[in-house]
Structure 1
Amino acid sequence: MVEPQRLQKIMARWGVASRRQAEAMIVAGRVRLNGKVVAELGTKADPQRDRIELDGKPLARASSNFSIAPPQLRYILLHKPAGAISTCSDPKGRQTVLDLLPEAWRSQTRFFPVGRLDAASTGALLLTNDGDFTLKLTHPRYHLPKTYRVEVEGHPSETVLQQWREGVALEDGRTLPARVHKERIKPHRHCTILTVVLQEGRNRQIRRVAAQLGFPVRSLHRQAIGSLQLGQLKPGQFRLLQKAEIHMIKYEQLRT
C-alpha cells in the first residue's frame, strides 16, 4: 500500500496544478475525496485506493489490482516568441506558450510555465508538468538568477546604472541588488544595450525599473535561467532538458 499523501501534493505530482493552485482549488470546494467535498488542506489520500475528483471529474480510481503511476515528468526549455502569453490559457484566445507544445503531450498531462515573461518579451522559459518543481522555483524564498539582454532608450550614465544595481524603490517595495552593465558594442545614438542579472522576478520588473530611471525598455530578451543557456533555440522552438540539467537547476535553486 502507498503511504497516504496530502491531496495538494498528489495533484501537483500528477501535473493537475502547482501545489499552491491545488490548495486554492481545495479551499474553493472544487475537490472531492470518495464523494465528499474536502474541507481541510491537510487531508491525505492514497491515489491507488481513493477516488479523487476535481470539478466532478475523477483524477484517480480505486483499484485493488492496478498500480496507478504518475505521468512521466517532463522539463522543457522554450524560446518564447514575442506575442505568446505565459499562461496555461487565455480568455481572449491569444496564443499561449503551451500552444507551442505538441498536442499529444498536452492531451496526456497538464504543463505549467515556471514563472513568466510578458507578451512583448522573448527568450528562455521553463515549462513542466512537475508541480513541486514549479512551486519551488517560483517561491519568493528562492532567488535563482536570470540573465536578460535589454535594449533601453537613451544612454544611462554610470550613476544611473549604479542606482539600478543597488536597488530601486517601486510601488511594491525596493528591488534586490542586481548586476547591470553595458554591452561592449558600438553604441547606437538612440539606445543602449544592457545585460541585467536579476535575483528576483516581480511582474514586469525590468520594464518598471528602467521606466522609473528614465530609460524605457525597447526590447527585452531572457538569455539564461541560472546556468541554463537558451543556446541555439529559435523563437518558438523547445527542447527537453537532460537529466544533468534538471539536477543542475534543482541544485542551483537550493543554493540560493
Structure 2
Amino acid sequence: MAERVQKILAQWGIASRRRAEEMIVAGRVRRNGKIVQLGEKADPEKDHLEIDGKKIEPANRPKRLYILVNKPIGVVSTCKDPQNRPTVIDLLPDSLASETGLHPVGRLDINTTGALLLTNDGQLTLTLTHPRYHLPKTYRVWLDGAIDRLALQRWREGILLGGKKTLPAQVEILKQTDQKTLLEVILVEGRNRQIRSVAEELGYHVLKLHRSAIGRIQLNSGNNSPLPLGDYRFLTLDELKYLKNQIN
C-alpha cells in the first residue's frame, strides 16, 4: 500500500516526520533511483528507498530506543535548531545521537524543564501525539502571587483559550505564601504553552514550570533517586508496556 515517503521513514524509525521532510527537501531521499519530492508516495513492499545512496528497509532500521530526558532551561525540544541553540539530542552521547533516528515525542518550551520522551519508534510518536490519546502529564507550577479560589476553580473546570475551552484539569495547591504559589497541575491535553497561557488569562505570571511525570513515568533514575537535570535514562520494560497499553 502506497504511503507518503516521510510517513514511511517515520514509521520505520529512520527519522521523525519533520526531519524526514527536511531530508526529502534536501534531495537526500531516492525512490527507485529517482530523487523523491515532498508529498510523493511509495509502496514499502515494492519500492527501493535510499537515503544518501544507502538502501533502507525495516530489516536494517535502527534498534528501537525509548529514552526519558530531564530537559534543562535553554534547550529546545527539536532534533536540530536553525539558531544553533542546544537541542535535546545534544544531551545524549554520540552513540545515541547519531544515525539512530531519535526524536522528541511532543515538546517542552525552551524555558520549561522536565520530563520529555525521545524515541525512534515513529508509530508510537504519531499515536502518542494524536489528540485523541489523553496521556496525563504532571507539572509543578510556581506562580507569582497567591492564587484565589475562583481562579483555581476556573482552571480546574477549563477556560476559553483562542476560542476553544481547555479540558478539565487537576490543580492542587502544594505551597502558598502571599508572594508565591506552588501548584501541581495534571493535564490530559497539550496545547502550545497551555499552562503559561491559562495562568496569564487568570491574572498570574508563571515563575517556573517543570514537568515531573508523563503518565506513570516519573523523573527518577534506576534507584528511584531524582534524574539529574540534563541527564537521561532508558525506559524500563514496565514503563514501555504501560505506554503501549495506553494507546491500544
Q: TM-score, normalised by structure 1?
A: 0.84
Identify the match of residue 182 of structure 2 among 193, 213, 218. Answer: 193
Which residue is 1:226 aligned to? 215
CA distances 1:41-72 after superposition (whole Å, capped 9, x unpaired): 553124xx853135xx235169xxxx942210
Please state whether the residue corresponding to 1:77 is helix, strand or coil: strand
Identity percentage of aligned residues: 51
Which residue is 1:15 aligned to? 13
Correspondence list, 1:133-172, <5 A: 133-171=124-162
Q: Which residue identity does 1:195 align to in structure 2?
A: E
RMSD over aligned Cα atoms? 2.6
Which residue is 1:241 aligned to? 235
Counterpart Cα distance in 1 of 2:59 and 2:132: 33
Matched, 1:53 2:42: no
Note closer, same or farther for the CA distance 1:170–1:99 as it changes in structure 2 (3 Å cut).
Answer: same
CA distances 1:114-173 after superposition (whole Å, capped 9, x unpaired): 111111111111011111111111112211110000001111111111111111111262
Q: Which runs of 5+ in 2 are unaligned?
A: 221-225
Counterpart Cα distance in 2 of 1:51 and 1:105: 27
Q: TM-score, normalised by structure 2?
A: 0.86
Are the aligned partners of 1:50 and 1:61 in contact in 2 as well (CA < 8 Å)? no
Are the aligned partners of 2:13 and 2:101 in contact in 1 as well (CA < 8 Å)? yes
Please state whether the residue corresponding to 2:150 is helix, strand or coil: helix
Identify the match of residue 36 of structure 1 among 29, 34, 37. Answer: 34
Please state whether the residue corresponding to 2:68 is helix, strand or coil: strand
Counterpart Cα distance in 2 of 1:144 and 1:70: 28
Identify the match of residue 213 of structure 1 among 202, 217, 226. Answer: 202
Note closer, same or farther for the CA distance 1:246–1:5 as it changes in structure 2 (3 Å cut).
Answer: farther
CA distances 1:94-113 after superposition (whole Å, capped 9, x unpaired): 11110000111222312111
Q: Which residue identity does 1:194 align to in structure 2?
A: L
Aligned length: 241
Q: Which residue identity does 2:48 align to in structure 1?
A: R
Counterpart Cα distance in 2 of 1:61 and 1:168: 47
